[in-house]
């Protein structure tokens, strides 16, 4: 049965209407008209002043007061919209669409929760493994540093011992030369005293024989030339950070790739060492840091390789 248009706005149902939407087929007051036009979905709707417009009489089904939903266009439609703009489109009842959307939303939320929970579990597990790797690398670096320091201490002690032995021998040689010259001084004083004791003797044949004997003893007293005296200097070796770096092994930190759930140990599986002579290969332990010459083969350091 046909009904005449109400004199009040069909939206707020309180203020008197002043305009009619040609697209929605509804009466609007000025306030509701402004709000309606501001919505993006209805921005292109056209209005007519009710004083200049005589609308068609709307008809409603008295048996079904239901709204429809156009699936392809993703909008609510009425019977007039179906016949004019959505002819042949797939339509669904509003209640069915609401049930479908609620089910879909619930499933998507559950999926997000499960995925986020899985990410949290994986991150905690791998963070624990990562912290273990950090401790292992720190331990390896510390052990290697201590080993190198021990080697330096041993080498230093060996060098000092070797130097002290050479210095001892040189000191004994110099002391021997000193003792020889001190003995010569004593002998020279003895000869000088002998010479002084001849001062009161007569100039006769006996004196000549005594002088000849004294002169022979003086000639036999050998005063050797001193050798070039030993000197000791130490030339320190300039050591910089790069020299220290060459002694220690290196670490490799594989950056975390967002979106991957790869086992952390797999990040190291592509690293190995290969002999350039015979081709022999050895894999490293992912939880330990190695010095650059840790792996050897054919009496040479094996080269570090990375599978790509």
Gap between the Cα atoms of 49 and 10, Å rounded: 15
- The pLDDT value given to residue 55: 56
Residue ranges for the chain with pLDDT beneath 50: 1-5, 57-65, 260-269, 287, 289-292, 308
What pLDDT sits at residue 149? 94
Residue 258 in any domain: the answer is no
Residue 12 in tokens: 């707020």
The pLDDT, as a whole number, for residue 134 is: 92
Look at residue 82 and tell me if it is in a domain. Answer: yes
What's the pLDDT at 67?
Answer: 64
Q: Supply the pLDDT for residue 227.
A: 84
pLDDT tens across 139-160, in order?
Answer: 999 999 999 999 999 999 999 9
- Residue 98: per-residue pLDDT: 79
Angle at 263 between CA 261 and CA 267, to 5 degrees: 110
What residues make up the domain containing 38? 19-93
Q: Is residue 70 part of a domain?
A: yes
Structural domain contains residue 196: no
In a domain, 14, yes or no: no
CB-CB contact of 102 with 94 (8 Å)? no
Confidence (pLDDT) at 69: 67
- Number of structural domains found in the chain: 1
Residue at token pair 């021997």: 176
> Quick check: is 75 in a domain?
yes
Q: Is residue 227 part of a domain?
A: no
Residue 98 lies in a domain: no
């Amino acid at each position: 049965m046909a009904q005449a248009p109400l004199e009040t706005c069909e939206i707020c149902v309180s203020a008197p209407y002043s305009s009619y939407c040609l697209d929605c087929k509804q009466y609007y007051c000025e306030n509701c008209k402004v709000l309606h036009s501001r919505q993006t979905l209805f921005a292109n709707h056209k209005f007519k002043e009710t004083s200049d417009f005589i609308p068609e009489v709307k008809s409603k089904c008295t048996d079904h007061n239901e709204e429809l939903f156009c699936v392809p266009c993703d909008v609510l439609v009425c019977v007039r919209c179906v016949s004019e703009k959505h002819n042949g489109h797939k339509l669904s009842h509003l209640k069915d669409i609401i049930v479908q959307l609620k089910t879909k939303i619930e499933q998507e939320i559950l999926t997000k929760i499960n995925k986020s929970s899985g990410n949290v579990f994986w991150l905690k597990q791998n963070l624990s493994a990562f912290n273990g790797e950090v401790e292992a690398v720190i331990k390896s670096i510390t052990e290697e540093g201590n080993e190198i320091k021990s080697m330096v201490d041993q080498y230093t002690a060996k060098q000092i011992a070797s130097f002290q032995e050479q210095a001892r021998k040189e000191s004994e040689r110099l002391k021997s030369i000193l003792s020889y010259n001190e003995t010569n001084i004593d002998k020279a004083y003895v000869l000088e005293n002998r010479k002084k004791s001849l001062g009161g003797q007569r100039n006769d044949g006996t004196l000549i024989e005594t002088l000849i004997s004294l002169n022979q003893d003086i000639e036999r007293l050998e005063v050797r030339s001193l050798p070039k005296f030993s000197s000791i200097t130490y030339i320190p070796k300039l050591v910089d950070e790069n020299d220290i770096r060459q002694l220690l092994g290196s670490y490799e930190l594989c950056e975390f790739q967002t979106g991957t759930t790869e086992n952390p140990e797999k990040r190291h599986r592509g690293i190995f060492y290969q002999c350039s002579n015979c081709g022999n290969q050895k894999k490293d332990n992912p939880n330990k840091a190695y010095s650059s010459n840790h792996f050897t083969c054919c009496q040479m350091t094996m080269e570090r390789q990375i599978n790509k």
